[in-house]
Amino acid sequence: MRIKKGIALGLILLLFSLTLAPSINTGIGKTIGPTVKNTQIIHGAISREKMIEIAEAYASYEWYPTLDNIAPRTPLYSLIHSVIHTLIQNHTILSFLAWIFDIKWIDTPDRDTHTDWNESIGWKANQMNIGVPYQWGGFSSISGFNLTNPEDFYEQYMGLGSFEGKIHYAGDIFCETLFDSRKACGVDCSGFVSRCWNLSQKQSTRTLSDINFSLPITFDELQMGDILLCYNSHVMLFHEFVDDNKTQISVYEAGPCYKVAAWKYDVINISQDRHSIELKNKGIFELYSYNVRTIT
């Protein structure tokens, strides 16, 4: 049934592509997709200690996925999504329709599919795994913290509660279509930080630096719960300095191993104004602190 539905939707998109003139692709997914849902901004009051507690809970989260949580890999599935991906690149309306119908190639970070990955990367079906999986555009919550606007990861991947009978694919590392899928669950880097800051709506690496959410700080002002932000690319939650000389930091982030985990990085350069730092093999990040003045 799923394949037949996919074929029908694929034919609909093909028909539109033959009747519509191409429009210039200027990043339509940036406004349609998992970026800014910036209506009324409501923050949930949260302490720095609670931010780290939430981050650690995501990184140490134990879960038991099944084969149902793996995205399909049939030749027909691949063909349909390859055609759709090609069509929507230069058609704004087609891209919008694909988003409406949730037609998107999903690549779950599971080792059953990616057999060349070692045990530190992703997850494996039918066994206990640690760390909420990476999902591009994901904003899943976990229970026990009274997070605002919850989208419980356990209920999503198990098909329980408000997601009764709708088992989600666990994670998604494929983002070339520029929009996320409602059939997958997990968190991406900004979704993870949004949850640690207890924001009511998912923000992106383009919006977390907005004054509604954060304020710029210097390297000397870094405290646990602050963020390291590479605009439109990546964000990490600062935990602590590893050494007294502040040459190494520990952070929590979603991404490197396609799941939430704790990492350590060497600080190799600090900007002259001390508002940004360069990390070894990671790049340059600007520094921001949660704007507590916006808590309501």
pLDDT digits (tens, 9 = 90+) for 33-82: 333 333 333 455 789 999 999 999 999 999 999 999 999 876 666 666 66
**pLDDT attached to residue 82:** 67
Residue 32's nearest CA partner among 100, 120, 124 is: 100
Write out the H or E segment, with its range, that includes residue 245: none
Burial, 111: exposed, middle or buried (Cβ in 10 Å; 0-12, 13-18, 19+)?
middle
The tokens for 147 are 């997070």
**pLDDT attached to residue 77:** 66
Q: For 18-32, 59-73, 217-231, 251-265, which range has the lowest pLDDT when averaged over its residues?
A: 18-32
The tokens for 238 are 């600062």
Three-state secondary structure call for residue 4: helix
Confidence of residue 182 (pLDDT cuts 50, 70, 90): confident
pLDDT in tens, 81-104: 666 666 666 666 666 666 666 667
Q: Name the average pLDDT for the chain.
A: 83
